[in-house]
Structure 1
Amino acid sequence: MTPTWYDLLDVDPHASEAEIREAWRAAIAELDPGDRRFRTFNQAAEVLLDPARRAAYDAELTAQQPEEEAPDEPTPVTATAAPRRRVVPTWVLLGLGLLTAALVVGAALLARQPSDDAVADAARAAQAAAERAVPPVLSYDAADLEGSRSSAAAYLTATYQKERDQLFEEVIDENAPNTGTTLTTSVVDSSIVRAGDDDRVQVFLFVDQAATNKEQAEPRVTRTWVTMTMERVDDEWLVAAMRVV
């Protein structure tokens, strides 16, 4: 039997998001980003930490499980009994024919979905844009908070910029000047989470964040996971949403 993503992370199929995240972090803690296992563990986390993708994956696993067949009742054998032959109703054959035709048509329609090449090109462009956006969007300097805010603005959609500015004011503006905190973010690795069309793409990023403050001159580095939703606006990929774990 092929190992599942649950097997890979050594968690129960009913594990909570927190349990999956903890298992994923433990699995990659000692691995180099260039290690093949690092990418495999990240792929598992991408699926299992995304509710929609996890639900689809669970459904796929369920479909792969062999169905239990109820044993046929034995037919008494007599000297004159002829073997029973199961007759398939005509409506069943017709239904199977229609289902087959529908699957063929569906496959043809899927093949004509927005050009695979276009979606792939868009995904790569969005991924590159997300990697460029992460440092300015997730970094700040207590000595120049306005400069930090301005540096990030160029990478955000208008809607998300308002949301980030509000968070910046409530959290960073209130605390950073007192603590003298400087946060510098860099990308370790990234991959595509979802690219359903060529205008909106989700990108999964693994980043390092080095923090210093008045009491801590040596940078303390924390590795964390970020999901960025990238949206194409006037041929430019901008951050439309972001989740940091």
Structure 2
Amino acid sequence: MNPTLYDILGVAPDASAGQIKRAWRDAAERFEPGSGGSAAQFRLFNEAAETLLDPERRQEYDAQAGLSPTAAAGPATRTLPATSTQRTATAATTSARDATVTDGTATDATPADGTGVRTVPAGRPAAAGGEPGPAPAPGRAVPWPVLLGLAVLAAVLVALAAGPFIPGMGLAATRQVVAQDGLDEARRAAPAAAERAAEAILAYDYRSLEADRDAAADFMTDDYRKDYLDTFDSTVIEGAEKLKAKVTAQVRASGVSLATEDRVQVLLFVDQVTTSTANDEPQTALNRVMFTMQKARDGSWLVDDITSY
């Protein structure tokens, strides 16, 4: 049996909110990363507590895990329509009550030709015209291995429909771990992609403007690429050629401002050094820019917007 969120925290399914909070704090202290625990364990305790301390989420989880009062009372019974075999057996039983049985044969109470009692083999009702009808097909029980196989197949299909599943954990906890893993991956991958993109997008050389522009555009989504190309062609090219400007960019630091699994805002601190005929010495500027990163279908992260501060 898979452990429930209650098992993870070491409390009973009917534990109060106060008991859950105490168990959560105790577990968090014992398994805090750096104090004998791992980040995965610490996150699991937090997610279990978040679910069980939210009344609506707890009720939903209890129902899914079969811990709700309704589930505990057992499944409700209902009457199923009679099968064809059952209807045949019922009809044969009713007919037998109206017949006289002697030595294993059934006698029809109504003679077929009016001259005497007509005998019909037991269990074979007379067909039209007085001839014995075909014997009813006996009901056949489904072998238990077949039933077991169908049950296993149904469980597999339900699991596939529900999404990923981690052995040893409940379905709700599995979903939470998978979602958190996706968010953690976004927080890790998006800033790295933003830093690479920034050093290409925020730099150019008047001697290779078109090549630099196209290389920068490769880091962008289709929608943002169009705006960038229009701005670069109408604003940057003319001024850069006129002043023979060369700009280099180096990311000094970055941090996540806001994140979901497929969209992350990354704040970047970038040193830009510009040399041009407008100044005798290179000019250095420390800039803050916000890159909005969008996850593409292939799993890569692309720039979807840039805001300067």
CA deviations 1:170-193 (Å, max 9, x no partner) are 210121111111111110100001
The TM-score normalised by the length of structure 2 is 0.43
Q: What does 1:212-227 align with in structure 2 at a 5 Å threshold?
A: 212-227=275-290
Give 2:46's aligned residue: none
* Aligned partner letter, 2:224: Y
Mapped contact 2:269–2:287 kept (Cα < 8 A): yes
Percent of residue pairs identical: 34
- Find out whether 1:130 has 2:194 as its counterpart: yes
Shift of 1:164: 0.4
Secondary structure of the residue aligned to 1:116 is: helix
Aligned-residue RMSD, C-alpha: 2.5
The TM-score normalised by the length of structure 1 is 0.54
Shift of 1:122: 1.6
CA deviations 1:64-122 (Å, max 9, x no partner) are xxxxxxxxxxxxxxxxxxxxxxxxxxxxxxxxxxx973475699989838621221112
* Aligned partner letter, 1:168: F
CA deviations 1:39-86 (Å, max 9, x no partner) are xxxxxxxxxxxxxxxxxxxxxxxxxxxxxxxxxxxxxxxxxxxxxxxx
Indicate which of 180, 183, 190 corresponds to 1:116. Answer: 180
CA deviations 1:109-150 (Å, max 9, x no partner) are 898386212211122101100011101111111111111112
**Aligned equivalents of 1:230, 1:211: Cα separation in 2:** 26
Shift of 1:224: 0.9
Indicate which of 201, 218, 223 corresponds to 1:154. Answer: 218
The more displaced of 208-217 and 104-113 is 104-113
Shift of 1:165: 0.5
Give 1:194's aligned residue: 258
- Find out whether 1:208 has 2:251 as its counterpart: no
- Find out whether 1:230 has 2:293 as its counterpart: yes
Give 2:163's aligned residue: none
Given the superposition, is the C-alpha separation of residues 194 and 103 from structure 1 closer, same or farther in structure 2, using an over 3 Å criterion? same
Secondary structure of the residue aligned to 2:219 is: coil
Give 2:55's aligned residue: 101
Shift of 1:203: 0.6
Structure 1 stretches lacking a partner, 5+ long:
1-98
Q: What does 1:66-81 align with in structure 2 at a 5 Å threshold?
A: none
**Aligned equivalents of 1:100, 1:158: Cα separation in 2:** 41
**Aligned equivalents of 2:216, 2:186: Cα separation in 1:** 22
Secondary structure of the residue aligned to 2:237 is: helix
CA deviations 1:213-237 (Å, max 9, x no partner) are 0132532110011100111112111
Shift of 1:163: 0.6
Given the superposition, is the C-alpha separation of residues 170 and 117 from structure 1 closer, same or farther in structure 2, using an over 3 Å criterion? same
Shift of 1:158: 1.2
Structure (1 or 2) with the larger CA radius of gyration:
2
Secondary structure of the residue aligned to 1:163 is: helix
Secondary structure of the residue aligned to 1:112 is: helix
Bigger relative CO (Cα 8 Å, ≥ 6 apart): 1
Q: What does 1:33-48 align with in structure 2 at a 5 Å threshold?
A: none
Mapped contact 2:264–2:292 kept (Cα < 8 A): yes
Given the superposition, is the C-alpha separation of residues 143 and 235 from structure 1 closer, same or farther in structure 2, using an over 3 Å criterion? same
* Aligned partner letter, 2:228: R
**Aligned equivalents of 1:133, 1:190: Cα separation in 2:** 12
Secondary structure of the residue aligned to 1:123 is: helix
**Aligned equivalents of 2:176, 2:247: Cα separation in 1:** 46
Give 1:168's aligned residue: 232
